[in-house]
Every structure is written in C-alpha cells, then in structure tokens.
Amino acid sequence: MWDPTGEITEEDNTDKENIQYPLYSAKVPPDIHFIGFDLTLEEVRGAENLKQDKKSKENIDPKKLGWYFVIKERPSEPRFGMDTTKPTSPSQRIWDNMSWDLLPAATKVINVGGTPPSPGGTINTDNIKWGSNAADMAYILYQKPVLVAVHAMDMLKKLSEKK
C-alpha cells in the first residue's frame, strides 16, 4: 500500500498489512503469467481524486491510496551484458553503466583484448580493468536485478467495477 508521502522504505518490507501476495498464479508458455490477488478493483485503484491533485493525498484515508504492483527479477539468476543507452551525466559514468552505444558502430561485439569502451571518465575505485581477467569482465558486465513498481491506477485505467 502507498503511504501519504509516496515513499517506499525498508520498513515497508516488514509491514504485513501493506503487502499482498498472490492467491494463485498460472503460466502460459513461453512468457505469459496470470496472477490473482484478494483485492477489489476499488481497493487496488484507490480514491478517484488521487491522480488529479497530489496535495489531496494527505487528506485521503491511507487505506484508500491504492496499491502498487511490484515486479522484480530474481537476484539468484544473474544476467550479463550492457545497458542500451549511454549515461547522460558524469556521475553515472561507472562500470555498472557500460553501454552498447560505447562500442564501435560497425560492430556490437565485445573485444576484451582491445581498447576498453570508455563510459566517459570512469572512476575505477575497485581497481577493475577491462579485459584483465574473467572476474573483472564479469564485474563490468553484470546487470543488477531490476525492480519496477507501477500504481494500479496506471495499470487498470479502462476497467470498471462490475456490480
């Protein structure tokens, strides 16, 4: 459940009242999943005026703020690769933000023996070097698990409660 400030904190993870786990799920191979929760459409979406006026959130009963659907990758299934776009600011230019855009345009092959693609001023505080060994390359190309949270009001815009 969403709190009036709109912030998600570590404490939220232990709040059993504000976390709903699916009652059932089904899968249609290769990549379609159906997940069912014990919530009504009204409970999930939240108050009608929630979207119009952000200040009104403070005046709404916390139980009527709606729910977020959170989808996250499993941390036990590591992925390796590069980001699809270059970092936009110098503070984002780290090994973790290596991008395919940094490779020569003619090829999209990682040449570990050649000159490393530069994320544009990488500050290498971990003493990791491009192409020096498999462990360094795994560190550079490891993709952290992703977590996405979408409010139900944004996901279920066109559905209406059947009475």
Q: What is the reported pLDDT for 107? A: 64
Query: What are the tokens at 27?
Result: 């899968």
* HSE-up of residue 132 (Cα within 13 Å, Cβ side): 8
Residue 40, classified by CB atoms within 10 Å of its CB into exposed (0-12), middle (13-18) or buried (19+), is exposed
Q: Where are the domains of the chain?
A: 10-73+146-155, 78-144
pTM of the prediction?
Answer: 0.57
As a whole number of angstroms, the distance between CA 155 and CA 44 comes to 10
> Could you say which DSSP state residue 148 is in?
E
pLDDT digits (tens, 9 = 90+) for 76-107: 888 888 888 877 776 666 787 778 877 766 66
As a whole number of angstroms, the distance between CA 23 and CA 137 comes to 41
Q: What is the reported pLDDT for 25? A: 92
Q: What is the reported pLDDT for 16? A: 64
pLDDT digits (tens, 9 = 90+) for 106-161: 666 777 776 666 655 455 667 888 888 899 889 888 988 888 998 888 888 766 55
Do 99 and 92 meet the contact criterion of CB atoms below 8 Å apart?
Answer: no
Do 26 and 34 meet the contact criterion of CB atoms below 8 Å apart?
Answer: yes
pLDDT digits (tens, 9 = 90+) for 6-47: 555 545 455 666 788 889 999 999 989 899 998 888 888 887
How crowded is residue 152: how many other Cβ atoms within 10 Å of its Cβ?
Answer: 20
Query: What are the tokens at 146?
Result: 């992703």
Q: What is the reported pLDDT for 2? A: 46
Beta 68-72 vs 142-143: how paired, if at all? Answer: unpaired
Q: What is the reported pLDDT for 97? A: 78
pLDDT digits (tens, 9 = 90+) for 63-75: 778 888 888 887 7
